[in-house]
Amino acid sequence: MLTNLQQQPADALLALIKLHNDDPRADKIDLGVGVYRTGQGETPVFGAIKAAEQKLVETQDSKAYLGPEGDMGFVHALMPYIFGKQDPDMGGRIEGMQTPGGTGSLRLALAMAQRAGVTRVIAGKPSWPNHNQICKDLGLDVVEFNHAAADGTVDMDAVRGAIAAAGEGDAILLHGCCHNPTGIDYSHENWDEIADLLGKSPVLPIIDLAYQGLGQGMEEDAYGLRRVLAAVPDALVCYSCDKNFGLYRDRVGALYAMTKVPADLTKIMSNGHALARANWSQPPDHGGAAVRLVLEDEALTAMWLDELDQMRVRMRQVRDKLAAAGVTGGVDLSPIGGQNGLFSIIPFTPEQVQEMRAKHGIYFAGSGRINVAGLTTGNIDQFIAAVADVTA
């Protein structure tokens, strides 16, 4: 029976990791894997997380099941940072549950939306490849609109057109900040307009907030999400702690649902619990518990926010250095300075991507997406020179 299965193509990112690992050159550069790196090229464990984990070792007295909703102390501790400290549950209109990373949250959100009657998902392109992959696996149709204009800014005409064309049975998937893969974010004025348009539309917003704090700051990066939620009756929010707490391998995420009638939340979340039970039963506890302990302790919270600030400052310095190079060979690097988060896309041709690998030992996705955190003071000049060489 199992021989009936068809060979699937290898994951492009995993294949890229292998290519980089197999390259013997000492000066090779990995700009493919989407994790934060320090100026020394390391992906560290946050000091705040280390301290919380030590506390967890000393105080945790059971490994018993938590249930499909996960650690609700973790879920609720995040809410003031996501939705605002003044009214984090918007008058009892928001509830959540823990998920295995942001991917688990997205899978659950899309499956819940499908149960609620959604058949089409409106999504910008390019986007994180797993967005479309999850939709395809669930049998949801994807209707794409251009996220970025030719000049490296947001294509608001395409956004307006996508929302205007959407109707009952549609959801729209939006990146809350630090757009993956382009780094091109909506401005506050853009979000104001998007929120007003969605407030007049029957479309269900699904907001993917996977990089809060890595763009402009924790509060600044939540602006668009909060603006949309203030304008619409219902929404789903997918959250990841993998990046802003450095918990990649521990898979720490949450799904939040907002509805117009608070009494409906019990019914809505029961569907999330049932879907989770049929998929992963319950999420892994360790990472979520560590985040909860950080957020319950003022000193650890301050340590975490300071570490997050340092990450953001370093990535901003890399972006400023790239932007200062301006027109380099045949491409203009200056737009990178106005973008946010881990990623940007440089308009390389497929042949130039291959030449960057073969000639210069610099590895990134075939789309031209680079992880700016892979660049350091020790290799950024090498990267800029390589760009000039292959694009001239």
Q: What pLDDT score does 9 carry?
A: 83
Which residue from 339, 333, 334 is spatially nearest to 312, judged by alpha carbons?
339
Asked whether the bond before 126 is cis by omega within 30 degrees of 0, the reply is yes
Q: What Rg do the C-alpha atoms of the chain give, in angstroms?
A: 21
- Helices 188-199 and 156-165 cross at an angle (nearest 10°) of 10
Report if residue 1 sits inside a domain.
no
Which residue from 113, 67, 116, 100 is spatially nearest to 273, judged by alpha carbons?
67
Report if residue 3 sits inside a domain.
no
Residue 14, pLDDT above cutoff 90: no
Same domain, 381 and 243: no
Q: What pLDDT score does 259 carry?
A: 97
State pLDDT tens for residues 279-332. 999 999 999 999 999 999 999 999 999 999 999 999 999 999 999 999 999 999
Same domain, 118 and 233: yes
Q: Of the candidates 263, 296, 329, which is a domain's last residue?
A: 296
Q: What pLDDT score does 41 carry?
A: 87
Same domain, 269 and 337: no
Match 């392109």 to its residue by tokens. 125
State pLDDT tens for residues 155-209. 999 999 999 999 999 999 999 999 999 999 999 999 999 999 999 999 999 999 9
Report if residue 369 sits inside a domain.
yes
Question: How far apart, in Å, are the Cα atoms of 285 and each of 14, 105, 117?
Answer: 26, 15, 31
Report if residue 57 sits inside a domain.
no
Number of domains observed in the structure of the chain: 2
What are φ and ψ of residue 329, in 5° steps?
A: 65, -120
Same domain, 261 and 132: yes
Kindly report the length of the chain.
Answer: 392
Same domain, 104 and 240: yes
Strand partners, 248: none
Q: What pLDDT score does 284 carry?
A: 94
Where in the sequence numbering do the catalytic residues fall?
128, 208, 210, 243
CB 215 within 8 A of CB 312: yes
Same domain, 91 and 190: yes
Residue 217, pLDDT above cutoff 90: yes
State pLDDT tens for residues 263-283. 999 999 999 999 999 999 999
Same domain, 174 and 216: yes
Which residue from 210, 270, 223, 239 is spatially nearest to 35, judged by alpha carbons?
210
Question: In CATH, what number is assigned to the domain containing residue 119?
Answer: 3.40.640.10
Residue 355, pLDDT above cutoff 90: yes
103/128 Cα distance (integer angstroms): 11
pTM: predicted TM-score of the whole model, two decimal places: 0.94
Q: Is 210 helix (H, G, I), strand (E, B) or coil?
A: coil
Report if residue 30 sits inside a domain.
yes
State pLDDT tens for residues 60-69. 999 999 999 9
Question: In CATH, what number is assigned to the domain containing residue 364?
Answer: 3.90.1150.10
Report if residue 55 sits inside a domain.
no
Q: What angle do CA 366, 369, 372 make, to 5 degrees?
A: 140
Residues 237-251, mean pLDDT to the nearest whole number: 96
Same domain, 125 and 180: yes
Q: Of the candidates 296, 318, 345, which is a domain's last residue?
A: 296
| Residues in CB range of 366: below 8 A, 6 or more apart | 12, 350, 353
Same domain, 292 and 311: no
Same domain, 38 and 92: no
369/209 Cα distance (integer angstroms): 19
Residue 324 structural domain: 10-45+304-391
Residues 217-246, mean pLDDT to the nearest whole number: 97
Q: Of the candidates 248, 268, 296, which is a domain's last residue?
A: 296
Same domain, 313 and 290: no
Same domain, 123 and 212: yes
Torsion, Cα 307 70 223 186, to 10 degrees, reads 90
What are φ and ψ of residue 310, in 5° steps?
A: -65, -40
Residues 89-110, mean pLDDT to the nearest whole number: 96
Which residue from 160, 152, 145 is spatially nearest to 190, judged by alpha carbons?
160
